[in-house]
Structure 1
Amino acid sequence: MIPADESWAIVDTHQHLQSLSDASYPWLDPERPEPLEGDLGPIRRDYLPADYRRDMEGLGVVKTVHIQNGRNPYDPVDETRWLSALARKEGMPDAIVAYADLAAPDVERVLEAHAGFPRVRGIRQILNWHDEPRLRSAPSPDLMESPQWRRGFARLAPLGLSFDLQLYWPQMDMALALARAFPDTAIVLEHFGIVADRGPEGVAAWQAAISRLAQAPNVSVKLCGFGLGARAWTPEDTLPLLHYTLKAFGPTRTMVGTNIPVDLLFATPKKVVSIIHAVAMELSHDERIALLRSNAERFYRI
């Protein structure tokens, strides 16, 4: 049962909308090799505010942050235009994290265009690199160390933009160096670092890496994407990872999200929200509000 107390209200910092009927989403192409998420068939469809509201009814979500979803990637501002028009009509999302290739020659123009939309708060460029090609999203494992990419990254803070950081744990030390090189740029680690290998050695390596990354005060973290790398996840195997993450970053630098509709591949909306509440259960009243809502409101300025 979802608690009625308003201190349990959630800002969903990681949700997606999509309209395959009028745009290209290459990551959902059925000809693409099966990615980390597995078979994408069940979510290869339009997913609009009415769908999200239906799925999340009664689960206490009060605001949402839309994370770029790969719509027409060769025109990265198209998704921002579409979402902004949708938000004016539907009242959601409350904030937008847009896409830009920070190494692109025209990145400054793209970032300025995004920043011109009032709901845009940040940028995501997925940096995932894995030895297995189908699990890669970035062109190289060390893209964030490229001078050209860093020139684009340097433009974020002056434009008031944060960065949503998505990668695997072996890249976290590079991310720590990036955070220290740009202390004025607010960064949030997505999906608590994607624990794709949940065996003892994999978890131990992830723990060490995430503890080091948490040392950077300008890095926060999101508890979301519970099924990424563990499609049959259970509260028993996932809660310890979430508690470890919360302890590393503390309740003032941790946020929550659903990753819906992607996480519908692995769980019901109620199961997703229930594990979020399970993490918050042991916190004080004020810490619970910070984790579930106020950290996100501050970070994304909503």
Structure 2
Amino acid sequence: MIPGDESWAIVDTHQHFQSLSNAAYPWLDPDRPEPLEGDLAPIRRDYLPADYRRDIEGFGIVKTVHVQNGRNPADPLDETRWLSALARQEGMPDAIVAYADLAAPDVERVLEAHAGFPRMRGIRQILNWHDEPRLRSVATPDLMESPHWRRGFGRLAPLGLSFDLQLYWPQMDLALALARAFPDTSIVLEHFGMVADRTAEGLVGWRSAINRLAQAPNVCVKLCGFGLGAPAWTIEATLPLLRHVLDAFGPKRTMVGTNMPVDLLFAAPNKIISMIHAIARDLSPDERIALLRSNAERFYRI
């Protein structure tokens, strides 16, 4: 944060804790095919509030939102229980986005149990589908159209839960149809739309899909995950992409995040924060406060 200017205070809407010493995180298994993030060895370790506080010291992050991190996926409530205990001890995270398989037969029971935790705010079920198997998170690209999955999705709003949407841009038209079918459900697009293909052709498709998805008033977006698909990313090359998203959604429907520790694979903390500052620098003070803090406080009720 710029000293003396609270308009630069940040709510980190996308960070992860992990404790590999006492839980299973299958996505970090060294025998798993190398994912979009590349070699995960540097983050195959515990990452707890003390580590996070060290990494963000002096950057003006005032609140955090923990997004599900694949802990013991066979028991979706385990991570929420663990994070709730961590929050009581450490004062963070301020909000929890948990995992649930929305197509599961017992999804209503799982969602109701999640909603019983005071810091619980939403659900993320990663929907990434790609022609390349190692980049897939689901078995089919059109899970959002499944009646069984939509039954689970339809339970979110009545329980006061939002949905963190992670997918690739070719799936965004399905997401737009989903948002229009459930206008009372608050949805946030993660990682500014997972720009995994940054070729000229890929960016044309991504920009067009972003513009269409932004038409749904119940969808907002997070600017985070700057290195996903571009491990050698630079501020100069990434800033035009973020500005396109900001122009499409507007500063009242855009939030920011660090994606730590995952994005530490690609950049030091000061570079991540510098990217966030760069996108906020040309905004008015009111727009900057909305982007960096107040939108997140409203969306996640923190």
- Structure 1 position 299 matched with structure 2 position 287: no
CA shift, 1:163, in A, is 0.1
2:244 maps to 244
CA shift, 1:199, in A, is 1.3
CA distance in 2, matches of 1:116, 1:12: 23
Question: Which runs of structure 2 are paired with 1:253-264 in the superposition (5 Å)?
Answer: 253-264=253-264
Question: Which runs of structure 2 are paired with 1:101-180 in the superposition (5 Å)?
Answer: 101-180=101-180
3-state SS in 2 of match to 1:87: helix
Instruction: List gaps (5 residues or longer) in structure 2.
Output: none
CA shift, 1:295, in A, is 0.1
2:13 maps to 13
CA shift, 1:6, in A, is 0.9
2:2 maps to 3
Question: Which runs of structure 2 are paired with 1:263-302 in the superposition (5 Å)?
Answer: 263-302=263-302
CA shift, 1:236, in A, is 1.2
What is the TM-score of this pair, normalised by structure 1?
A: 0.99
1:200 maps to 200
1:25 maps to 25
3-state SS in 2 of match to 1:127: coil
CA shift, 1:139, in A, is 1.7
Per-residue CA deviation, residues 191-216 of structure 1 (Å, 9 max, x unaligned), is: 00011111111111000000000000
Per-residue CA deviation, residues 80-100 of structure 1 (Å, 9 max, x unaligned), is: 000000000000000000000
CA distance in 2, matches of 1:270, 1:107: 40
CA distance in 2, matches of 1:195, 1:239: 13
3-state SS in 2 of match to 1:283: coil
2:58 maps to 58
CA distance in 2, matches of 1:13, 1:139: 28
2:186 maps to 186
User: In the alignment, residue 60 of structure 1 is paired with which amino acid?
Assistant: G
Aligned residue pairs, count? 301
CA shift, 1:301, in A, is 0.1
CA distance in 2, matches of 1:147, 1:254: 30
3-state SS in 1 of match to 2:11: strand
CA shift, 1:126, in A, is 0.0
CA shift, 1:232, in A, is 0.3
CA shift, 1:138, in A, is 1.1
2:93 maps to 93
Per-residue CA deviation, residues 137-166 of structure 1 (Å, 9 max, x unaligned), is: 012100011000000000000000000000
CA shift, 1:218, in A, is 0.1
User: In the alignment, residue 87 of structure 2 is paired with which amino acid?
Assistant: A
1:49 maps to 49
3-state SS in 2 of match to 1:93: coil
3-state SS in 2 of match to 1:122: strand
Instruction: List gaps (5 residues or longer) in structure 1.
Output: none
User: In the alignment, residue 61 of structure 2 is paired with which amino acid?
Assistant: V
Q: Stretches of 4+ moved more than 4 A in 1?
A: none
CA distance in 2, matches of 1:278, 1:70: 31
User: In the alignment, residue 145 of structure 2 is paired with which amino acid?
Assistant: E
3-state SS in 2 of match to 1:222: strand
User: In the alignment, residue 272 of structure 1 is paired with which amino acid?
Assistant: I
2:74 maps to 74
CA shift, 1:175, in A, is 0.0
CA distance in 1, matches of 2:138, 2:13: 23
